[in-house]
Structure 1
Amino acid sequence: MRPDPLAWWHSEFGEIAPRGHLLRRALSAQWVRFHSLPESKRYAESLDEYAEIEHRHCLVASALFSANEPLYVFRALGEEARLRGKAKHQLAGRQFREAVAVMQPESLGQDEEDRMYVRALVCHWKPDFFEAAIRLLADWKAVGISFVSPATKNIFCPYDGGMDVFTHSIAPEELRARFTDWLSPRPDGL
């Protein structure tokens, strides 16, 4: 039987879309944010900085996911682009399913920004796909992506400038201690 990531997400997290800023409100006890570059720099300007972004993201994700572990990759956007011809919704060469779910949790209010169109794909934890996706996210060429383990419910939400992590199998304090230098100096962790 083919896995259904959208049904799985809905059964585990309800109508909260797999997007870092929305999950932070609902799962604040499991949340940790790490920055991609020193001094909270948002965008890379050199190959060394791109290497640092990939290094940090891969290390944090490797703390959450095991080699070849099945993952669900979600894309949650505020609006759904209409594609023409044979174009498909995809990320780094992997195609999202044709189904789309509209999620807007009542508990978070009825703001337009809380309504998300969510697509999903099934893959395995392999750095080659992950690194290509991180590069797109770092350059703001892709947004709203979350990597999720259906086995552990760990959630990795990379964005341009960092990553929001929601952990269920590791204590957030353990991740903070492991990657202390990549935390925000702000009291709210942002």
Structure 2
Amino acid sequence: MMTKEDFQNLWNLNYPNTVPISHLFKHDYSDRWFRIHSLPASKRYAENENEWEILLSRQNEIITDLLGLETPIVTVTGEYNWGDNRQIHVTDEEEIFKSFSFVRLDKIQLNKIDAEQYDEPNIYSPAFAQTIWKPNYHDKLLREIANDNTRAFFVSFDKNIIVAPYDGGVDFILKDNQTRDNYKEKYKQWLSEREDGL
């Protein structure tokens, strides 16, 4: 069973330049980052079952390719608290997280990360749960993320990979830029046409 201290040590060892908040990864590890879009023509949201099938098929295919089958991973989520002290955590409230056994991490003071964007009372409260990756096992969670109903990302410390789905696609942080370039080439049909890769 991974403890809070185990997670923090592994995180600091593998990702010392960032904190476990997924929208920061593409900036903090831009040399190892790439993004795929979940739907053709960079469409953001699935509107019917056919589009959901494409979205989940793409996400499961590339994540399985990167992580492998039955791979131990850690699911990380959290919530923002804007100045109030919430007693209930998102992992206890949201149905999608009920099957996981979450461990709370230390709260992150957002103004220490970005003083321009955040005021002092703004806190992010992350939590993690150990699980495995196998195709379609996390489809309910992937759907909730794709609908922008929740946020979470997966990390394999063994493989040094972060998988961060969002409403529109998936961000990846791979172990080095060569590995990143190989996968970008392999999945070039799913990349953004924008120069910045977003």
Normalised to the residue count of structure 2, the TM-score between the two structures is 0.81
Give, in angstroms, the shift of residue 48 of structure 1: 0.5
Structure 1: gaps (5+ residues): none
- Taking structure 1 as reference, are residues 94 and 10 closer, same or farther at Cα in structure 2, changes over 3 Å only? farther
3-state SS, counterpart of residue 104 of structure 2: coil
* Residue 79 of structure 2, aligned match among 69, 77, 80: 77
Aligned-partner Cα distance in 2 for 1:97–1:20: 18
Aligned-partner Cα distance in 2 for 1:172–1:15: 18
Structure 2: gaps (5+ residues): none
Percent identity of the aligned residues? Answer: 24
Q: Is the 8 A contact 1:140 1:160 kept in 2?
A: yes
Residue 177 in structure 1 maps to residue 181 in structure 2: no
Structure 1, residues 122-155: CA drift from partner, whole Å, max 9, x if none?
A: 0011234321211111112212x11110101100
* Residue 96 of structure 2, aligned match among 80, 91, 115: 91
Partner residue, 2:41 = 39
Residue 103 in structure 1 maps to residue 111 in structure 2: no
Quick one: which amino acid aligns to residue 54 of structure 1? L
Aligned-partner Cα distance in 1 for 2:194–2:126: 31
Structure 1, residues 30-74: CA drift from partner, whole Å, max 9, x if none?
A: 100110111111111110000011011011101211211110110
Normalised to the residue count of structure 1, the TM-score between the two structures is 0.84
Displaced runs of 4 or more, over 6 A: none
Deviates more, 1:102-111 or 1:122-131: 102-111
Q: Is the 8 A contact 2:72 2:133 kept in 1?
A: yes
* Residue 118 of structure 2, aligned match among 84, 107, 112: 112
3-state SS, counterpart of residue 148 of structure 2: coil
- Taking structure 1 as reference, are residues 102 and 152 closer, same or farther at Cα in structure 2, changes over 3 Å only? same
Q: Is the 8 A contact 1:36 1:161 kept in 2?
A: yes
Q: RMSD over aligned Cα, in angstroms?
A: 2.7
3-state SS, counterpart of residue 72 of structure 1: strand
Aligned-partner Cα distance in 2 for 1:95–1:81: 21
Q: Is the 8 A contact 1:147 1:155 kept in 2?
A: yes
Q: Is the 8 A contact 1:70 1:150 kept in 2?
A: no
Quick one: which amino acid aligns to residue 151 of structure 1? D
- After superposition, residues 130-141 of structure 1 pair within 5 angstroms as 130-141=138-149
Structure 1, residues 99-141: CA drift from partner, whole Å, max 9, x if none?
A: 2322358885323299532110000112343212111111122
Residue 189 in structure 1 maps to residue 197 in structure 2: yes
